[in-house]
Amino acid sequence: MTLRYLTANLAQQIDEELMGAAGAFSLDQLMELAGLACAQTLATVYPRERYSRVLVGCGPGNQGGDGLVAARHLAMFGYKPTVYLPKLGSKEIYKRLHSQCQNMDIATINTEDDLRRRLEESDVVLDAIFGFSFQPPIRSPFDTALKLITDSKLPIVSVDIPSGWNVEEGNKDHVALRPDVLISLTAPKEGVRGFKGRHFLGGRFVTKEMERKYQLNLPEYPGFAQIVELPSGVSQKEKL
């Protein structure tokens, strides 16, 4: 059966049910599993022997929380991550995740100049800036950050939805990141149907009951892996 792609409303509904009686997960659990899947994806495509220096861009929401978890796991995998955090999230969980990174001696930068310099010293970017709840326009300082990341020509791994993309219509404004790798969480979103790069599914936490209820038709995860690779779609040029 065909894998289901989620609208913004359906993705939000599933998230709420995962943390409600149907799933009984805490936000901490979901972020930990999602961030681990993101770190595994980057490590699968970009081995640390050649791509050890990772710039992890984190927004102030839950997407950024996933990025902070991923940065911590990447450090444990032997990578050398740096967190770009122009705006610290206000939730207590976000502050704790950031403290965990600091306890792992992971550097945090927050200025445009620091970002420009660190991009010159990095091998790959993990994009966890905007999530599926993003609404345009892209505001400062994130508009400049996305341009600097794009101009760096570094390979990009995006979390769930590439930053700046509309969750249902994709990169319709042509101002967003165009990643080489995408890690969809729970299930892929409508806006990435035409994504051509390597596409992975992660977040091995969806209950069997929920999968049946929403007819997600998720693929089997291999062994103990937290990710599974999906077929690529049409080229981004064709889609644009």
Binding positions? 62-66, 127, 131-137, 160, 163
Binding positions for (6S)-NADPHX? 62-66, 131-137, 160
Written as six digits, the tokens of 83 are 């967190």
2 part of a folded domain: no
104 part of a folded domain: yes
CA gap 15, 138 in Å, rounded: 24
Residue 57 and residue 125 in contact, taking contact as beta carbons nearer than 8 Å: yes
Tell me the sheet residues that pair with 56: 83, 126
Put simply, whether the predicted model's pTM sits higher than 0.85 gets the answer yes
For 58-103, give the DSSP string: E-SSHHHHHHHHHHHHHHHHT-EEEEE-SS--SSHHHHHHHHHHHH
Q: What is the mean pLDDT of each run of 10 residues along the chain (240 residues)?
A: 92 92 88 97 98 97 96 98 92 95 97 97 97 81 94 97 91 86 96 94 91 95 96 46
89 part of a folded domain: yes
What integer pLDDT is reported at residue 100 of this predicted model? 97
Please report, for the domain that includes residue 74, its CATH number.
Answer: 3.40.50.10260
3 part of a folded domain: no
Domain of residue 223 covers 8-239
Binding positions for K(+)? 63, 127, 163
87 part of a folded domain: yes
What integer pLDDT is reported at residue 233 of this predicted model? 60
How far is C-alpha 28 from the geometric centre of its chain's CA atoms? 16
Written as six digits, the tokens of 182 are 């995408």
109 part of a folded domain: yes
List Cβ neighbours of 88 (8 Å cut-off, separation of 6 or more).
Answer: 60, 94, 95, 98
Model pLDDT for residues 94-141, shown as the tens digit of each residue: 999 999 999 999 999 999 999 999 999 999 999 999 987 787 788 889
Residue 216 and residue 187 in contact, taking contact as beta carbons nearer than 8 Å: yes
Q: Report the domain count for the chain.
A: 1
Angle at 64 between CA 18 and CA 79, to 5 degrees: 110
